[in-house]
Amino acid sequence: MILRGGRILDPERRIDRIGDIVIHDGHIQAVVWDPKDIVPSPQTRVIDVSGKWVVPAWVDMHVHLREPGEEYKETIATGTAAAVAGGFGAVACMPNTHPVNDCAAVTEFIRRRAQEQGFCRVYPVAAISKGLKGQELSEFGELREAGAVAVSDDGRPVTNAALMRRALEYARAFDLVVISHAEEEALSRGGHMHEGLVSTRLGLQGIPAAAEAAMIARDVLLAELTGGRLHIAHVSTEASVWILREAKRRGVAVTCETAPHYFTLTDECVEGFDTVFKVNPPLRTRRDVEAVKEGLADGTIDAIATDHAPHSVLEKDTEFQDAANGMIGLESALPLVLGLIRDGVGDPLDILAKVTCNPARILGIPMGSLQPGLPAHVTVIDPEAEVVIDPEGFQSKGRNCPFRGWSVRGRVVLTLVDGLVRYPFH
């Protein structure tokens, strides 16, 4: 197959140039700048992608696939179909399933199911603590062996600082990154949205920004103490950004991600009490949104992940206080991320790095590059296509999309995983 005449953007090698990509046997055989340098054989499928962007398939390092245990919300099949429809060639799935992914048998189940039914690569994240209970560490060596690429108790924080310290030390031995869901529960408990003017006006109990930032500060100190690799999930506040900026300046081995809703939406969205806007960490203020964008611009924030969290109407069609936290994100992320480029937050290579080579490097997975010789994981994007976001057409089982009806620009044309066309579906 030849992808002909597209704008090739490879953030890892800082390439931004019109060219052709030759794919053979599931691998990138060559990237060619002069079309005369390749003579396609009659069997070669030549796809004209002029006017399009040809980029490494996107990597979402934070999704909830809900299988095993909550298949009514999502399955590995539907979640990965949503991924490739959104331009992602790989997802890392969080361990808060039923049973929890805290042992090799569950990790192996996820990998096997992904191989049989998945549309993209699936990299399991295993639990830090057994049962996500925050008491006893799971067996990191066994989990690594089974295919886990990171550990996290995502969905809840590791409340006990001594356990987090031991997790960072233990993870070092297996070169696993520890992903922190940073939340000081003593401050957040009982809260339903960001604590501020809007929560006061609505009479809803709030979650202060400090609940997130305080836990990030603790974890940064523990990373410095142990030399372990720390990654902070879903950064949403101004204080979080400045703590992480300072930590990086000091040379602490810490990376972090944010999600599209944290650079796009504010707590004012909650004013209609629509539970689609209930998420943890909560939507913050305009000032926090600007700080997150600054963090993306100056490289403090390494990655953009969706925190795709499908729920059924059972969890969302209820009073705001009773509703579950979470939004889906796989099928709306791409135009919102491209919006950062249009808004001048970063140039295409800098922004694309946050959904390709950066998350791949953090997880240590072979994705996020268009280097010849590697498996062909490629996404072709029409950056100018005008799209109205319609969750009713999503592959995901979730309909809890906060961007319903938004007019945006940017559409996935093609997603290749291991050289195979996984999107569009056929």
* 113 lines the binding site for Zn ion (CB under 5 A): no
User: 121 vs 181, which CB is nearer to Zn ion?
Assistant: 181
From the candidates 48, 175, 307, 350, which is the catalytic residue? 307
User: 12 vs 154, which CB is nearer to Zn ion?
Assistant: 154
Q: How far apart are CA 105 and CA 102, in angstroms?
A: 9
Q: Single out the segment in contact with Zn ion by CB under 5 A; choices: 1-9, 16-24, 142-150, 181-189.
A: 181-189
Contact (CB, 8 A) for 104 and 352: no
Closest separation in Å from C-beta 57 to Zn ion: 24
The tokens for 233 are 């999930």
Per-residue mark of binding to Zn ion, 231-270 (x: CB under 5 A): --x-------------------------------------
Closest separation in Å from C-beta 197 to Zn ion: 25
Q: How far apart are CA 308 and CA 367, in angstroms?
A: 20
Residue at token pair 């989990």: 143
Q: Single out the segment in contact with Zn ion by CB under 5 A; choices: 18-26, 116-124, 174-182, 292-300.
A: 174-182
* 64 lines the binding site for Zn ion (CB under 5 A): no
Please give the residue whose beta carbon sits closest to Zn ion in the complex. Answer: 181
Per-residue mark of binding to Zn ion, 195-234 (x: CB under 5 A): --------------------------------------x-
User: 308 vs 361, which CB is nearer to Zn ion?
Assistant: 308
* 4 lines the binding site for Zn ion (CB under 5 A): no
Q: Single out the segment in contact with Zn ion by CB under 5 A; choices: 5-13, 175-183, 314-322, 410-418.
A: 175-183
Per-residue mark of binding to Zn ion, 120-159 (x: CB under 5 A): ----------------------------------x-----
Closest separation in Å from C-beta 167 to Zn ion: 16
User: 154 vs 219, which CB is nearer to Zn ion?
Assistant: 154
* 181 lines the binding site for Zn ion (CB under 5 A): yes
3-state secondary structure the chain: CEEEEEEEEEHHHCEEEEEEEEEECCEEEEEECCHHHCCCCCCCCEEECCCCEEEECEEEEEECCCCCCCCCCCCHHHHHHHHHHCCEEEEEECCCCCCCCCCHHHHHHHHHHHHHHCCCEEEEEECCEHHHCCCCECCHHHHHHHCCCEEECCCCCCCCHHHHHHHHHHHHHCCCEEEECCCCHHHHCCCCEECCHHHHHHCCCEECHHHHHHHHHHHHHHHHHHCCCEEECCCCCHHHHHHHHHHHHCCCCEEEEECHHHHHCCHHHHHHCCHHHCCCCCCCCHHHHHHHHHHHHCCCCCEECCCECCCCHHHHCCCHHHCCCCECCCCCHHHHHHHHHHCCCCCHHHHHHCCCHHHHHHHCCCCCCCCCCCECCEEEEEEEEEEECCHHHCCCCCCCCCCCCCEEEEEEEEEEECCEEEECCC
Closest separation in Å from C-beta 96 to Zn ion: 9
Closest separation in Å from C-beta 181 to Zn ion: 4
User: 27 vs 156, which CB is nearer to Zn ion?
Assistant: 156
Closest separation in Å from C-beta 374 to Zn ion: 31
Closest separation in Å from C-beta 154 to Zn ion: 4
User: 63 vs 376, which CB is nearer to Zn ion?
Assistant: 63
Q: Is 322 a catalytic residue?
A: no
- Count of residues of this chain found to bind Zn ion when the rule CB under 5 A is applied: 3
Q: Which residues are catalytic?
A: 307
Which residues contact Zn ion by CB under 5 A?
A: 154, 181, 233
